[in-house]
Amino acid sequence: MSPLLIPRPDRIRMSPDRRGAGGFVLDSRSAAGFGRCSLLLAAGDFGSGGSGGKGMAEGSVTTEYLIVGAGIMGLALAREIRERDPSARVSVVEKEPVPAWHASGRNSGVLHAGFYYTSDSLKARFTREGNRLWRDYCRERNLPMNPCGKVVVAKNEDEAEGIRELKRRGDKNGVEVRIVDEKELGEIEPNARTAGIALWSPTTTTVDPVAVARSLAQDLAARGVRFFYGTPYRKNLGNRRILAGETVFSYGTFINAGGLHADRIARDFGFAQGVTILPFKGVYLEYEGASPDARPVRTNIYPVPDLAQPFLGIHFTIKVDGTVKIGPTAIPAFWRENYAGFSRVDLRDLREILGWEARLFAGNDFGFRDLAFSEIRKYSRAYMASQAKALVRTLDPSRFTRWGRPGIRAQLLDTKTCRLVSDFRVEGDRESIHILNAVSPAFTASLPFAAWTLGRFRSGEGWRP
Ligand SMILES: Cc1cc2nc3c(=O)[nH]c(=O)nc-3n(C[C@H](O)[C@H](O)[C@H](O)COP(=O)(O)OP(=O)(O)OC[C@H]3O[C@@H](n4cnc5c(N)ncnc54)[C@H](O)[C@@H]3O)c2cc1C
């Protein structure tokens, strides 16, 4: 339970529990010599009063602020509370043994610049500032960054209009972006290919998201925030008390930053009515074996996205160490934690999500059927590499040999309109706050998003839609 014993999520492996409790053993060995920790996660832990598990906190805890989830949003909210009120008691309950085990540690690691979003959105409001704050943070903490920028390229003349629209949005959002011609594009990224014009974003930067989240969690622990890992939220007991793991937590303010499970937790408090999370899986392919000089690209290269969808299309991401990956896909997942095979399968989830997907597929709402068909094809390495190849002059697709760690988007669906919710959403009242739809670029936007959320809470404005 020590906050300093934080192994990297990518060094954790999961295996079925051999003790017959129907759960999974998370087994973590940190290369940094933190030693080994393991705990039992029982099946059916989420709000339905599943059986208890070893390694969880017991007894009772009283705290002024109780946060569910040690992803980047939970951590950013804890940081904001600490900034505003250094003496407040703040506790974070997290079902996994480490911070950022889910989306926050499984994303592209891109600090977005903020030009995709319409100026009236929360995404537009927080992304530019979040990009700046995280770059400052990484500099202060000596965390690796790759300030390689990004180009958005057009495959044909029609897409050139998409480039101009992104430039208009960037200008409105106060983001530094420039339209460049093919010659200038060649100077920025010689291998990029475009039809006429491209968009250059110099402030787009890549970071190691696991290192960033782990660093922030360590800062917070050092500043007195209490972390309870391996402690899943189970249910709302009423009178400002919840059960998490085997512990009753009494709180002044409850903050739900539960990512893929945030809608269910919110419903226990009377929120998230008329919405549900639809999981979309993002998988990556990594370019292997090339020496630094032989890497195909050095700048992030993105296609013009379909602005009607919240996904950006297959693109090249340059990691902090310069290695290259392509992805992520946006494949409809069948349950919330549907990372690989049948691991973490949840039958209630499977039933509900398959039900929604069947309905959206039949009606082709928001183009879901077309999206599903085109995304499923990306399980083929050759097909995925061919999508990336369209963005560059030369590429050896056979080098994309290794699948990277998949991540799952906690995308909110409006169940009345059968449309995906595009902007971040927060609901809550004087007692509880629920972060819903913290989809991309919520990693980038997390610090100003957390500040805005706490500000509204303090002023009593609330968010009930
Ligand atoms: C494939 C992919 C690529 C992305 N790329 C980018 C990018 O390049 N740049 C960017 O800015 N954003 C990106 N994003 C988005 C970004 O990763 C997310 O917006 C962000 O991580 C959301 O953070 P979060 O804290 O809300 O969720 P999470 O990271 O999922 O954290 C939620 C936490 O709550 C915990 N939890 C859930 N239920 C319970 C419970 N019952 N009890 C206790 N704990 C619980 C979970 O274990 C988890 O740790 C990407 C996302 C994906 C999936």
Per residue in 12-58, pLDDT (tens digit) is: 443 333 322 222 223 332 222 222 222 323 222 222 223 233 344 46
| C-alpha 40 to ligand 1 mean position (Å) | 22
| C-alpha 425 to ligand 1 mean position (Å) | 14
pLDDT in tens, 278-291: 999 999 999 987 78
At residue 388, the pLDDT reads 93
Which run of H or of E encompasses 20? none
Taking CA atoms, 339 is separated from 9, 42, 106, 333, 405, in Å, by 14, 18, 11, 8, 9
- Could you tell me where the beta strands, DSSP code E, fall in 188-292? 197-201, 205-207, 226-228, 233-238, 241-244, 246-256, 275-282, 285-287
CB atoms near residue 382 (< 10 Å)? 10
Q: Are strands 150-153 and 197-201 parallel, antiparallel or unpaired?
A: antiparallel
At residue 222, the pLDDT reads 97
Q: pTM of the entire structure?
A: 0.89
What domains are there in the chain, each with its CATH number? 9-104+210-273+423-459 (3.50.50.60), 113-206 (no CATH), 275-415 (3.30.9)
| C-alpha 158 to ligand 1 mean position (Å) | 34
At residue 197, the pLDDT reads 97
Blockwise average pLDDT, block size 10, the chain, 465 residues: 37 34 29 27 28 53 98 98 96 98 97 96 97 98 97 94 96 97 97 97 98 98 97 98 97 98 98 96 89 89 89 92 92 94 89 94 92 87 90 92 93 96 95 96 98 90 64
- Interacting residues of 195 by C-beta distance below 8 A, sequence separation 6+: 153, 154, 155, 156, 157, 159, 160
Q: Are strands 246-256 and 324-327 parallel, antiparallel or unpaired?
A: unpaired
At residue 58, the pLDDT reads 67
Measured CA angle at 130 (ends 124, 132), to 5 deg: 115
Hey, which residues does 66 pair with through a beta bridge? 91, 254
Q: Does residue 258 contact residue 392 with C-beta atoms inside 8 Å?
A: no
Which run of H or of E encompasses 399? none
Q: Is the dihedral of CA 100, 104, 109, 114 positive or negative?
A: negative
Pocket test for ligand 1, best of 95, 122, 220, 278 (most atoms within 8 A of CB): 95
Q: How far apart are CA 294 and CA 432, in angstroms?
A: 52
The length of the chain in residues reads 465
At residue 391, the pLDDT reads 96
Q: What are phi and psi of 217, to 5 degrees?
A: -60, -40
Nearest C-alpha to atom 13 of ligand 1 is from which residue? 440
**Atom of ligand 1 at shortest distance to CA of 231?**
43
Taking CA atoms, 151 is separated from 82, 166, 300, 364, 396, in Å, by 37, 12, 6, 32, 20
Taking CA atoms, 358 is separated from 18, 324, 330, 332, 354, in Å, by 35, 35, 17, 11, 6
Q: How far apart are CA 267 and CA 404, in angstroms?
A: 34
Nearest C-alpha to atom 50 of ligand 1 is from which residue? 107
Q: Angle, nearest 10°, between helix axes 209-222 and 122-141?
A: 80
Pocket of ligand 1 (CB under 6 A): 46, 68-74, 93-96, 100-104, 107-110, 112, 232-233, 257-261, 282, 328, 407-409, 435, 438-444
At residue 3, the pLDDT reads 34
CB atoms near residue 450 (< 10 Å)? 26
At residue 464, the pLDDT reads 57
Q: What are phi and psi of 436, to 5 degrees?
A: -115, 150
Nearest C-alpha to atom 3 of ligand 1 is from which residue? 107
At residue 378, the pLDDT reads 86
